[in-house]
Structure formats: C-alpha cells, structure tokens
C-alpha cells in the first residue's frame, strides 16, 4: 500500500513538472511493459494499463461522490460559499448530473441572500446568475424536476423581477401537480407583479377551491381581498 501511494505521489509530481518522458518510463517500469510489439506483448500491455485506468476511474468516482457529500454537509452547516465550491468540483466529474446542478443552485441562491460583504470578484448578482444557470441546466437534463423549476421561478419572481419568465415555469408545475399550493401562490404573485390581476385572482381561487388546510385557504382569501382593493 505504501508503495502504491509513493507511485501516485511521483505520478502527480511528474505531471506538475510536465515531464512526460519520465512519466512514461515510470509507467513502463511499474507495469513491466516496454515497447510491446508481438500480439502477446500488446495484449498483455493493454491488460496491465487497463487495470491502471480502472483504478483511476474508481478513484475519480469516489472523489466526485465525496465532493457531493461535502457540499451537502456545508449546506447543512449553512456554509454556502464552500458548498458552491464543492458542487462545482463534483460537476467536473459528473457534468450531466441534474441533482448536482440543483444543489449548486440552492447553495448559490443562499449565498446571494446573505447580508455579508462580497470580495472584489464576487457580487450578489453573480451568485444569482450562477443559481439561475444551475437550475436551468438541471431542467435541461430533467425537465420535470419540480424542485429546480420552483426554485428558479422564485428567483425570477422575487429577486430579478422577470415575471414573464416565471409564469410559464409555474404554469407547467401546477399543470402537473394540481395541489402544489406553493407554486400556485408564487404564480399568483408573478401574475400580480406582471399586472395580470385577473389571472392572479384565478390562481388564488384555485387554492381556495381545492385546498383543505384552513391556513392555506385563509392566505389565498387574503390575497384576493388585497387584489380587489387595487382594481
């Protein structure tokens, strides 16, 4: 085991020095393969190097999983900036994992909400843009991923003021999930903020007609009353 880690250390040291020739010699000496020419030698060389490739792939998979776990732990600890970095690292290994993009969007949006000073290279807008991009990529990979769609619509409605982008996303959610009252409330707000009071009232009315929770119904009724006072 110690010998293996010594070889790994030498391996990365050689890479950092761009010493490709020395790296090649190291690999050949380790595997006992030098300039194979015959069928048997070539087959043996491929077999030996394939094991090395398999080991590297296994290590990369583990590192990606650990970065994802680390990002989740950072979120639990409300260390959102560190979570962003961890999920970005995980995406280097799994660039087509929709859940990683969702987690990245969640962490980035939380950073944007933090009332703390940003460095020269950072800004609230940058983190909001990162969150929007992450949620959008998640939905490209998994179009019906409701959590990402809802989170994206909340940013458009309450953070960036892009109500026209929020509305179709929310309409799609409530079409699939007729009792997703959180989405109905945000949809009503998006309609209202976009000046479509009639559609806003209809959204709240659907909540009243189908919900069973008195608090939810009362909130919808209150919103309708506030709407009626304005038009």
H or E segment to which residue 210 belongs: helix 197-210
The predicted pLDDT at position 6 comes to: 47
The predicted pLDDT at position 29 comes to: 53
- Nearest residue to 201 via CA among 214, 216, 191: 191
Cβ–Cβ contacts within 10 Å for residue 140, how many? Answer: 11
Phi-psi region of 118 (alpha: psi -120 to 50; beta: other; left: phi over 0): beta
The predicted pLDDT at position 95 comes to: 95
Structure-token pair, residue 49 = 């190097």
Specify the residue for token string 């962490």.
107
The predicted pLDDT at position 26 comes to: 45
Structure-token pair, residue 31 = 């595997």
Structure-token pair, residue 41 = 């030698």
**Average pLDDT for consecutive 10-residue bins of the chain (231 residues)?**
47 46 50 63 72 71 90 95 95 95 97 68 80 98 98 97 97 97 98 95 97 96 91 72
Instruction: Kindly give, in sequence order, each residue whose CB lies less than 8 Å from that of residue 158, ignoring residues fewer than 6 positions away.
Output: 189
The predicted pLDDT at position 44 comes to: 77
The predicted pLDDT at position 115 comes to: 57
Structure-token pair, residue 51 = 């094991």
Q: 138 near 145, Cβ under 8 Å?
A: yes
- Nearest residue to 220 via CA among 189, 194, 175, 191: 189
- Nearest residue to 90 via CA among 122, 49, 134: 134
Could you tell me the sign of the dihedral formed by the alpha carbons of 195, 199, 205, 206, in that order? negative
The predicted pLDDT at position 8 comes to: 45
Specify the residue for token string 């394939």.
50
H or E segment to which residue 230 belongs: none
H or E segment to which residue 158 belongs: none
Between CA 125 and CA 120 the distance in angstroms is: 13
């Amino acid at each position: 085991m110690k010998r293996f880690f010594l070889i790994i250390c030498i391996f990365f040291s050689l890479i950092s020095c761009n010493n490709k020739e020395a790296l090649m010699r190291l690999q050949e000496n380790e595997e006992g393969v030098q300039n194979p020419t015959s069928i048997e030698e070539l087959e043996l060389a491929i077999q030996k190097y394939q094991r090395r490739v398999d080991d590297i792939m296994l290590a990369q998979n583990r590192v990606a999983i650990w970065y994802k776990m680390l990002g989740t732990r950072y979120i639990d600890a409300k260390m959102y900036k560190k979570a962003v970095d961890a999920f970005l690292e995980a995406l280097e290994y799994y660039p087509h994992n929709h859940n990683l993009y969702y987690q990245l969007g969640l962490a980035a949006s939380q950073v944007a909400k933090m009332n703390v000073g940003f460095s020269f290279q950072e800004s609230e807008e940058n983190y909001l843009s990162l969150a929007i991009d992450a949620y959008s990529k998640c939905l490209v990979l998994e179009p019906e991923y409701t959590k990402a769609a809802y989170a994206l619509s909340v940013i458009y409605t309450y953070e960036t003021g892009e109500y026209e982008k929020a509305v179709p996303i929310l309409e799609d959610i409530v079409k699939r999930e007729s009792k997703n009252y959180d989405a109905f409330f945000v949809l009503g707000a998006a309609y209202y903020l976009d000046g479509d009071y009639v559609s806003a009232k209809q959204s709240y009315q659907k909540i009243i007609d189908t919900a069973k929770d008195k608090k939810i119904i009362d909130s919808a009724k209150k919103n309708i009353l506030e709407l009626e006072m304005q038009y």
